[in-house]
Structure 1
Amino acid sequence: MKALWKALCAAAMVGMSMLPAHAEDKSITVGTMSWEDLTPITGITKKVLEDAGYTVKVVPFSEWGIAYAALSKGDIQILASQTDYVAQDYWDKNKKRLEKISPVSHGLFQGVAVPKYVPIDSMDQLNANADKFGGKIVGIEPGSGLMRDTANAVKGYDLKLQLVEGSTAAMTAALKSAVDRKEWIAVTIWEPSWMMQKYDVKFLKDPKGIFPPPQSYYWIGKKGFSADYPHAREVIASVYVPLADITAINSAVNDGKTMDEAVKAWTDSHADLLKRWENIKTQ
């Protein structure tokens, strides 16, 4: 009887081993913020996943809170985000339901910048030249992390300059006008941005360390993504887009291309690299 029982158990184990493994779903819904740094990252990764055999749907969001809620609920499977600072509060609030997949770029930096022809290099030199800057720092949309940091810098350096709220478009127009006339101007700005390339500006040094250090971009997923999509996870983890390439893509958009055209031009010119990424084998 004992021998028969062993034989039956062995047969059952063999039968189980012959059952097909759970097939990986080939459809992935990707979230993205409609921003100039995250859109190229999303577009390039989408192309790599599609070439690797996946059907990819992209859902754009306008606010981190909505994007993270959608990811936590499973309405989207993955999202590119800066978890170290820009979206740290949202990451900390939701991270028990999420997982980091891999870094996809590095170097996001925000601060106050001036044109390179302006002969100052540090935040603590602003007060001595306040009149030349018209007594103001030209800002962007109120409520952004960059404006919050700059407001803290105004207090931290006891600046005599007023931080003026506005919009990215208005700041860009003011910067262009000042550069065309070789006038002094201080603006809130970030890298990667086509503006850094086009207008030849420099970040002011921040000896008090009020602005955060350069940050990384990560692909993050709903908890369990790596287990459910092992091959997609390996493909995603192979993708890395240098910050300079993100800036170049956005410069092409500023020069008249659509984002889809600019991303396609990049992927076409990096075809060999994309082949290596999409052909990655799951260990």
Structure 2
Amino acid sequence: MNEGFCPDKCPHYYEEFVKEIHFSRSFRKQIYETIELKKAKRILEIGSRIGIISQELREFSDAQITAIDADHLMIAEASDRVKGVEFFRSSEDKLTMRDESFDAVICHYFFIWKPKPFASLMEMIRVCKKGGYIVALAEPDYGGWIEHPNLGLGEYHQKAIKQHGGNPNFGRSLQSIFSSAGLETKKHINSRIWDKEELENNIANEWFNIKKENLITDDEYNSKVEKELKLIQDNLRIIALPIFTAIGKKVVIQQNVIDPYDDL
């Protein structure tokens, strides 16, 4: 069973996860203010990995914070690097917590890796108190990837994510599953645009990761990187990735909700 994102299997997508965290910190601060995180008494983070978001939550709130992940190595590292947060290994799809235990349930780059995202969301809703918030801080949508000129990097990323059991186009579905679950939902879309320095520092590694997935040959890799560097040098390269956010308030307990994925 796919328990979610596994950085040991696809570490380059974990690198993207970390880059996005630094890129969107100021935006997340606005979200924490919107949901009045400072007033929360208990917070749960799902899919905490090495605790980067957990540490940020600790900085913004005095609440009791619990963070879970399916990978025991990630939990061990997070426990060493972040203090004041209770980390433990747990299935992310069948939570062991009691109903209505938390004021806020938070995740980041989580649903993109879930084979049954709606079921995962319903578990998050179950353990959230009425009037509390379920927040997906960031879910990318590689189907909305923009690059010019088009060298196919976005299409290769989609193929690679699918190879690891993820849904590269999930971001656009975020509002649908939140609303279908009965949450009072607000959505946001940010576009992460790579500047020239980021392109220069990372583009060769982006294509190397595609090569590691056996999607291109060594010769194709060399050709792609040569073209990329020339375009970047001439300031002709554009890459952007849409990042979706959803804030869901648990206003009522819904009965017989419909999984929107059943119709796909």
Interval of TM-score (by shorter of Structure 1 and Structure 2): 0.3 to 0.5
Bigger-Rg structure (1/2): 1
TM-score scaled by length of structure 1: 0.31
Tell me: higher relative CO, structure 1 or 2? Use CA pairs within 8 A at least 6 residues apart. 1
